[in-house]
Chain A
Amino acid sequence: MSKLEQLLEDCLESIERGDTIEAVVLRYPRFADELRPLLEAAISVKNKSLFEVPSVVVRRNRAKLLQQAAKMREGRVKRDSWSIWFVPLRRAVVTLTVLAFVFASGTNLVRASASTIPGDRLYPVKRTLENVLVFVTVDSQKREVLVEALGNRPHLLEGGELGG
């Protein structure tokens, strides 16, 4: 910051306290020619300012603002009542869509793994499904039949996975 900038600020403070421009620049004769026009410009812009806001302007705009706020409140109440059913509905639709996608993917996967043999990439999927089927079969007789059916496959006998 230059000395002149600080001097300008000091002079402005003095003028604010009631000193005249001439009285102030006399304190800094070396900078008087530079300071004087700046201080005159400052006084001009200071006089440009409005001190009193007309009360009619204040009242008019207060009423307008409160009216605008009331409209916004009304709009918000309408949006809130609409969202009471819209938001849950939207969530249900999204959830069902995801589930349908997962189900369809899973079904396709199971179908694709049905004809796999040991060594194929999807063979573990087939084995897992078979194990799940055995697990969820509550009836012991049906379970024995199922195990036997799953065990009577040539490739399984080789691996001895389900053999006796």
Chain B
Amino acid sequence: MSTQALIYDRISLSDILNMKVYDYSLPYSAREVAKTMPIDNERRVLDGLQDLDPQVIGDIYDQYFSEVYRYVCYRISDETVAEDIASEVFVRLLEAAQNHKGPQSSIKGWLIATASNAVNDHLRLLYRRPTEELSDSLPDENSSITFELDLREQNRVLHSAYTQLTAEQQHVLALRFGLGYSLEETATQLKKKVNAIKALQFRALASLQRQIGEGNHE
């Protein structure tokens, strides 16, 4: 199966196991082949998950943990909490496999969807129990510290604006800009058409830009 076909076709488990693993640290258009997994492992992976085979579990973790963690970090921006959530996603994979409710086609799709649900649950709880922010100490006049504080303030405004978006808008931006998914991959993940993703992306960015503007005026 050609790389181009892999990118634009609906991603299935056999596709994942047969496709080349990309280096997600690079922009999407510049991703390069890192390694391949043979297709005859597909049955082995599903059986291995149910049997709690440590080799299979380790392989799945190695392939997908970074992406899940990056997704969660993008949505939450608290790395400690993000690590807990990302870890929990993989435990849920094991539990679901035991109960025959695990992924039937795409492990990656299942993991990202579960991560999205876990993040949404966390954010719902968080907004019900708001916590007081610790006050920053007074800055001195050192220009590098001032620059860093400005940068932190910008990030704070950006993250605050991002959290004002709907869960679906946050999810689309996280997939498109956090993980570098193409429109087609994002559409597959959200089970929507490509045009719907373009519209969602547009509304998300428009809303984000509005929120950033309001945040800067405060």
Partners in one complex: yes
A residues contacting B by CB (< 8 A) are 1-2, 4-6, 8-9, 16-17, 37-38, 40-42, 44-46, 48-53, 57-58, 60-62, 64-66, 68-70, 72-73, 76
Number of B residues near A (Cβ < 8 Å) is 46
- Tell me which residues across on chain A come within 8 A of B58, comparing CB atoms: 62, 66
A61 touches B86 (CB 8 A): yes
Cβ of B195 under 8 Å from chain A: yes
Q: How many A-B residue pairs have CB under 8 A?
A: 114
Main secondary structure, interface of B, reads: helix
- A76–B27 Cα gap in the complex (Å)? 43
Main secondary structure, interface of A, reads: helix
B91 touches A68 (CB 8 A): yes
B177 touches A42 (CB 8 A): yes
| Contacts A8-B205, A58-B66 given; does A49 touch B94 at CB 8 Å | no
Q: State the Cβ distance, A43 to closest chain B Cβ, in Å.
A: 9
Between-chain CB contacts (< 8 Å), 22 pairs: A1-B198, A5-B201, A8-B205, A9-B183, A9-B198, A16-B29, A38-B205, A38-B206, A40-B209, A44-B208, A45-B178, A48-B155, A48-B158, A48-B177, A49-B74, A53-B65, A53-B69, A53-B70, A62-B58, A62-B62, A65-B87, A76-B98
Picked from B69, B178, B202, the residue with its CB within 8 Å of the CB of A38 is B202
- Tell me which residues across on chain A come within 8 A of B177, comparing CB atoms: 42, 45-46, 48-49
B202 touches A37 (CB 8 A): no
- Tell me which residues across on chain A come within 8 A of B205, comparing CB atoms: 8, 38, 41-42, 45
Q: State the Cβ distance, A17 to closest chain B Cβ, in Å.
A: 7
Q: Specify the chain A residue showing the minimal Cβ separation from B165.
A: A45
